A = this chain, B = another copy of it.
């Protein structure tokens, strides 16, 4: 099957990664409107105008498409969180911004604009590798902020760094994991500020 592309006049068609991206973009649009769980690859193929065989050339299963969408979504959340952290001056402010940005970006991308909650929920409950990697990166970012705060003298240094990081991560986790976040909508307004306050008190030298 040929689809018109900006490169269709060239001797070589669009690169594989471009075709792959087209499928992912169309699938993201489709899943976010009609849901992930109930849609089959056949439904998807029909809806987005690619043949089923063509989709299978790039993705071995629906989950493989879901994983790519999920990765893109997590990368976007992560980019927003990192931008928010970078906008903070000192480590305490960075930590506050991190918590707030996690809640805001996750709510918006999974529950409001894109409605990708269903894919993210599968990813979280089935522990897809993308989820595990995402959580590890967020924990690493958190640890960087804590370590910086120890160097600047804003944070205490008695508690082992990995213990502090793990405990604070547990406080943030209910707002980062979509399975938990869906039961905390009543708290998303107040929780980031309140919990950041508590975390910062626990970090005071």
Q: Which residues of A contact B (CB under 8 A)?
A: 124-125, 156, 159, 163-164, 166-168, 170-171, 173-174, 177, 179-180, 183-184, 187, 190-191, 194-195, 197-199, 201-203
Contact of A199 among B174, B177, B198 (CB under 8 A): B198
Contact of A167 among B159, B167, B177, B197 (CB under 8 A): B197
Do the beta carbons of A177 and B187 come within 8 Å of each other? Answer: no
Chain B residues in 8 Å Cβ range of A190: 166
Query: Given A159-B201, A201-B159, A201-B202, A167–B180 Cβ distance below 8 Å?
Result: no
Do the beta carbons of A170 and B199 come within 8 Å of each other? Answer: no
Contact of A170 among B164, B187, B202, B203 (CB under 8 A): B187
Do the beta carbons of A180 and B170 come within 8 Å of each other? Answer: no
A-B contact pairs, 26 of them (CB 8 A): A124-B183, A125-B183, A156-B201, A159-B197, A166-B194, A167-B194, A167-B197, A170-B187, A170-B191, A170-B194, A170-B198, A171-B171, A171-B195, A171-B198, A173-B174, A173-B187, A174-B174, A174-B180, A177-B183, A180-B180, A180-B183, A198-B199, A201-B201, A201-B202, A201-B203, A202-B202
